[in-house]
Structure 1
Amino acid sequence: MMKLGCSPLLLYGHLLVYLVTAWLLATADVAAGQRPGCPAKCGDVDIPFPYGVGDECSFHPGFTLSCNDTKKPFAGTVEVTKISVADGNSWMKAHTMSWRCSFSSMDTRYFDGWLNLTDTPYWISELDNKIIVIGCNTLAYMKSSSYVIGCYSTCADGNLENGMCSGAGCCQADVPKDIRFFSGYFNETYEITSQHTPCSYLVVMQKEAFTFNTSYVESTKFYYAYNGTVPIVLNWEIRPWTCEVARQNMSSYACISSNSECLDSPNGKGHRCVCSDGYEGNPYITDGCKDTNECLANPNPCGLEICHNTPGNYSCSCHRGYYMTNGVCVFEKPSRFPAMPVIGASVGLAVLVIAVACACLVQERRKLQKMKQDYFRQHGGLILFDEMKSKQGIAFKIFTEEELQQATNRFSERQVLGQGGQGTVYRGYLKGNVEVAVKRCTTIDEQHKKEFGKEMLILSQINHRNIVKLLGCCLEVEVPMLVYEYVPNGTLFHLIHGDQGRRISLPTRLGIAHESADALAYLHSSASTPIIHGDVKSSNILLDGDNRAKISDFGASILAPADKSQFVTLVHGTCGYLDPEYMQTNLLTDKSDVYSFGVILLELLTCKKPFNFNLDAPDREKSLSMMFTYAMKENKLEEILDDEIRDEDNMEILEEIAELAKQCLQMCGENRPSMKEVAEKLDSLRKVMQHPWVQQNPEEMESLLGEPSSIVSSTVVSGEYFSIEKKAVNSLQSGR
């Protein structure tokens, strides 16, 4: 038997009614201004005035919060997760979820969620929230003092789809304006019928926090996904005074900062404060609104002209040799001819034509600058710019489009290093003759677009000798461009499958494999935020002049969230390298990278491509992983090994590498080793391979390790995938 939280009576006691109790004291006169000595944060949440921790720190009791031992702010018993003074919003977690569950004909449970913000400074934001109904054959609605609104969700056609809330298993409706009270209801004439646990839900919550999953339908998973509390965005105001009334009694007037303005609420029952145009900050505290320096914006609001910051605004002036006419800088050219009427008229006409042309040119240039500014903000450029200023020493630059055009000779085809499904890479030279690789992406999805600036800051701090360094990015274009360090010796794919006829020794192959594995292990477990590469393949492993490996191309990468349910993505990758488990579940994990790396090990062992597109080839020979699995099963490993490395002296090492690849290619991700374990295994084999005693005395080494001959054991002991045989370790440490 499962349980869905507390009883209905107990849940009623945990709702936002505590805000009502706190607001009953709001009519008392309290002096305006920031209270000295009051905490500005509770845990990770900023507490800006008029909010405060305790009555003595807030403008009115309606804005009083508590900060408990968990370092989380609460309004009553409702957790507050974010406060915005500029927008007049508060983000909270509330018990507003209504549900019906029938576990049997004799066991039906329900809870009707509600919210009462009457006589508080809060109301539900109609812009940030949605009314959402989940279930099969479910009609539910939200009822307030003046509205009844809901929708009908059905599963009749069976076309349920993750992420789609348009009637099949999930429907949604807009929240009306000025809602301070509502109750949730289900229409009892619409019965839920299912052989499984039949549950239906009605919830008013933040629309950006909800993503429909088909597993929510007729199950308890939606309830436990949010633990019964859902995020909701509330508007707030200073009540119950309008601006005119509040100014008559300064103790109730909140807009005390200079350069601030008072705005009456749309419902006429309160007011809110904002900083004047050209200023930013907190209008509720003395001198809280500070001048915004528009000239520091990127790009310059004056374009190519000189920008001068002024209080609340900015002005533009011309460079030397130009003068301002009709708001446009034009070249000042002295007249060489006497002022004759005909010449004067001609010059005047010419000036007029030039002025009009310049005005059109400037207008188009301003449109272009505005578009670049919009792209810059859209890709998180302002957030990235602020983070770079706060974190000194980051070797990362935000490039302009013009800089990258000059570096690549206007993206000339002669500068192309390679092309792929996600974009084209160009060779370029920055100022100072610094050689770089510029990746010009073709598309970017909406989720990455919102998080792009944040992800760039994390990727820029990756510092590993076997990972291509990200030097910067360009955000003022529709699809951002990335700038990497230049790696001169091509890709591992070209080295293995190219027609240059070069011999690749086993130590070289083993070194490349170990360095690549070490880099992926760093991304998975040692980076400040774990990163899943998502497109591990030999063409994404670059080689420098000494054939040292460098992992590149993070176009398909994702930052690993703490909640593994967030790993669900659209399947993308390269044929032959894709993890079968990922293709079945859409669940991208670090073990997906392990599988792809196992295919790279097979390429190094066999010099064969991951996928054979020859239609006449047998099924087991179309996929390199299938060919390898068949060879291992039939004990025919030697038949698929590359002739250049296949000899009796190397067979023990090759068998160990093959066994490692076999572990990486396990169908179930949980049975695969981690990249850290793979890197340790390859490091051990590399050390044994490099040891001169092993190269000169293979028979003695085989005798030392015993039968069956094995340099490194491949057994799983106490949760560890690989461990070096004690005799081999002792021989290496003693330098024999």
Structure 2
Amino acid sequence: MAVHLVIRIAFILLLTCELAEATPPIAKPNCRSSCGHLQIPYPFGIGPDCYLDKWFEIGCNTTGGSAKAFLTSMNMEVRQINISSSPLNRHYSFVPTVQVQIPIIYSKFCQLAGNHSVTNISGSPFNFSASDNTFISVGCDNFATIAGIFPKVFGCKSDCKRDSKVDKEVTCSGFNCCESTNIPSNLQAFDVEFRSVNESNDREGVVVKGCKYAFLVDQVWLKENKPDPSSVQYWEYVPVALEWTIFQRNNHSREFFNLLKNSRKVSCFYPDVYTFYCDCAPGYRGNPYVEGGCEGNIINPLLFV
């Protein structure tokens, strides 16, 4: 019995080593797979014929001593690219994302108010993730809402009154800072409208001075870094999660889609009739968008116990 157990354990260890060594490809052949420490998986790519289309082209800037990746079509710095869910936790709610830097939006009474600009990615295969981001705003007498979503209202309120009933010890509970995870789906243009909490001020044209600012931010990054919202205004940029899909608008992308959907190691999903994205099928890991990218069939060790 003991010898049998040792053999089974040795087999599992050997299987684990073999799977670890068999690293599937993430980029197209003869293409760079990283920019500094950031992996660049296909359909993203660096250089001619290394990306699917212009939206997935990555520029790698190595000036200044550290490499930084950018989405060249939108001039956004890329911090992370997620193309596949965990091989041991496949789920149908997975959507591929890319984490990029976007500017904080300031009210006109801030020193950096000149940087108030809409982040507009309309027409691209990207949108601001409604499930992976949090909306945060800082300021007194502040009712901040995401602009252009009328008649629905997405935003939050914060105030600085001493008699406020909100918990001042809890970050962004409503005292000088507020947050909301209620983000509109399929959002492609992010701008903020700052108003007064006191509606009579808005109606009477009363101008309440004071810096207010707001931003969308990646929830995982927010949880890991726990920044002081009052200091974020000096950062200018924060990381946000963009969901992405692949357009089926030309013969190249349609041929690409047909190739992927016929692989037993790949599962593809269709948010609408014009777009799709894929994941490695349950039990596989890697990049579903390259040939041989989903490899290393994951075998449950409990089957051998």
> TM-score, normalised on structure 2?
0.72
Are 2:294 and 1:284 aligned? no
The aligned runs of 1:264-663 (5 Å cut-off) are 264-265=270-271, 267-295=272-300, 300-302=301-303, 306=304
The alignment's C-alpha RMSD in Å is 3.0
Query: Matched residue of 1:261: which SS?
Result: strand
Are 2:260 and 1:259 aligned? no
* CA pair 143-151 structure 1, distance change in 2 beyond 3 A: same
Do the aligned residues in 2 keep the contact of 1:162 with 1:212 (CA within 8 Å)? Answer: no
Measured in 1, the distance between the counterparts of 2:159 and 2:52 equals 48
The corresponding residue for 1:49 is 42
User: Paired residue for 1:213, among 220, 228, 232?
Assistant: 228
* CA pair 259-247 structure 1, distance change in 2 beyond 3 A: farther
Query: Matched residue of 1:301: which SS?
Result: helix
Do the aligned residues in 2 keep the contact of 1:258 with 1:287 (CA within 8 Å)? Answer: no
Do the aligned residues in 2 keep the contact of 1:138 with 1:192 (CA within 8 Å)? Answer: no
The corresponding residue for 1:178 is 186
Do the aligned residues in 1 keep the contact of 2:27 with 2:40 (CA within 8 Å)? Answer: no
The aligned runs of 1:53-68 (5 Å cut-off) are 53-68=46-61
The corresponding residue for 2:233 is 223
Measured in 1, the distance between the counterparts of 2:43 and 2:248 equals 15
* CA pair 53-212 structure 1, distance change in 2 beyond 3 A: closer
Are 2:135 and 1:136 aligned? no
Measured in 1, the distance between the counterparts of 2:50 and 2:253 equals 23
* CA pair 268-249 structure 1, distance change in 2 beyond 3 A: closer
The aligned runs of 1:113-124 (5 Å cut-off) are 113-124=117-128
Shift of 1:248: 9.8
* CA pair 258-127 structure 1, distance change in 2 beyond 3 A: same
Write the deviation string for residues 225-264 of structure 1: whole angstroms up to 9, x where unpaired.
Answer: xx211110000011145xxx98994245462755112210
Query: Matched residue of 1:62: which SS?
Result: helix
Shift of 1:35: 3.0
The aligned runs of 1:135-214 (5 Å cut-off) are 135-144=139-148, 147-156=152-161, 157=163, 161=168, 163-173=170-180, 174-187=182-195, 189=202, 191-192=207-208, 198-210=210-222, 211=226, 213=228
Write the deviation string for residues 587-619 of structure 1: whole angstroms up to 9, x where unpaired.
Answer: xxxxxxxxxxxxxxxxxxxxxxxxxxxxxxxxx
The corresponding residue for 1:690 is none
Measured in 2, the distance between the counterparts of 1:263 and 1:273 equals 6
Measured in 1, the distance between the counterparts of 2:211 and 2:167 equals 16
Shift of 1:278: 1.5
Shift of 1:44: 0.6
* CA pair 134-249 structure 1, distance change in 2 beyond 3 A: closer
Query: Matched residue of 1:199: which SS?
Result: coil
* CA pair 57-179 structure 1, distance change in 2 beyond 3 A: same
Between the two structures, name the one with larger relative contact order (CA 8 Å, sep ≥ 6): 2
* Structure with greater helix percent: 1
Do the aligned residues in 1 keep the contact of 2:27 with 2:45 (CA within 8 Å)? Answer: no
Shift of 1:66: 0.4
Shift of 1:291: 3.5
Query: Matched residue of 2:143: which SS?
Result: strand
Write the deviation string for residues 542-581 of structure 1: whole angstroms up to 9, x where unpaired.
Answer: xxxxxxxxxxxxxxxxxxxxxxxxxxxxxxxxxxxxxxxx
The aligned runs of 1:656-735 (5 Å cut-off) are none
Query: Matched residue of 1:118: which SS?
Result: coil
The corresponding residue for 1:88 is 96
Measured in 1, the distance between the counterparts of 2:119 and 2:112 equals 24
Measured in 1, the distance between the counterparts of 2:289 and 2:42 equals 6
Measured in 1, the distance between the counterparts of 2:112 and 2:129 equals 33
Do the aligned residues in 2 keep the contact of 1:115 with 1:182 (CA within 8 Å)? Answer: yes
* CA pair 294-53 structure 1, distance change in 2 beyond 3 A: same
Measured in 2, the distance between the counterparts of 1:90 and 1:118 equals 16
Shift of 1:65: 0.5
Measured in 2, the distance between the counterparts of 1:178 and 1:99 equals 23
The corresponding residue for 2:67 is 71
Shift of 1:38: 0.8
Shift of 1:119: 1.3
Measured in 2, the distance between the counterparts of 1:249 and 1:75 equals 23
Q: Which amino acid aligns with 1:176?
A: P
* CA pair 66-133 structure 1, distance change in 2 beyond 3 A: same
Structure 1: gaps spanning 5 or more residues: 1-32, 308-736
* Structure with greater strand percent: 2
Q: Specify the structure having the higher radius of gyration (Cα).
A: 1
* CA pair 91-249 structure 1, distance change in 2 beyond 3 A: closer
Measured in 2, the distance between the counterparts of 1:259 and 1:252 equals 14
Measured in 2, the distance between the counterparts of 1:282 and 1:109 equals 42
* CA pair 249-213 structure 1, distance change in 2 beyond 3 A: closer
Shift of 1:73: 0.7
Q: Which amino acid aligns with 1:169?
A: N
Write the deviation string for residues 12-63 of structure 1: whole angstroms up to 9, x where unpaired.
Answer: xxxxxxxxxxxxxxxxxxxxx9532111010010001111012421011110
Do the aligned residues in 1 keep the contact of 2:144 with 2:192 (CA within 8 Å)? Answer: yes
Write the deviation string for residues 76-133 of structure 1: whole angstroms up to 9, x where unpaired.
Answer: 33110110111411011112x2112647xxx994653322121111011111101111
Measured in 1, the distance between the counterparts of 2:213 and 2:275 equals 34
Measured in 2, the distance between the counterparts of 1:247 and 1:66 equals 22
Shift of 1:149: 1.7
Measured in 1, the distance between the counterparts of 2:60 and 2:258 equals 27
Measured in 2, the distance between the counterparts of 1:113 and 1:247 equals 35
Structure 2: gaps spanning 5 or more residues: 1-25, 85-94, 197-201
Q: Which amino acid aligns with 1:66?
A: G
Measured in 2, the distance between the counterparts of 1:248 and 1:85 equals 17
Measured in 2, the distance between the counterparts of 1:204 and 1:268 equals 29
Measured in 1, the distance between the counterparts of 2:248 and 2:256 equals 13
Count of matched residue pairs: 249
User: Paired residue for 1:238, among 246, 255, 273?
Assistant: 246
Measured in 2, the distance between the counterparts of 1:79 and 1:205 equals 14
Do the aligned residues in 2 keep the contact of 1:100 with 1:110 (CA within 8 Å)? Answer: no
Measured in 2, the distance between the counterparts of 1:250 and 1:172 equals 43
Q: Which amino acid aligns with 2:228?
A: N
> TM-score, normalised on structure 1?
0.31
Query: Matched residue of 2:217: which SS?
Result: strand
Q: Which amino acid aligns with 2:148?
A: S
Q: Which amino acid aligns with 1:177?
A: S
The corresponding residue for 1:100 is 107
Write the deviation string for residues 681-722 of structure 1: whole angstroms up to 9, x where unpaired.
Answer: xxxxxxxxxxxxxxxxxxxxxxxxxxxxxxxxxxxxxxxxxx
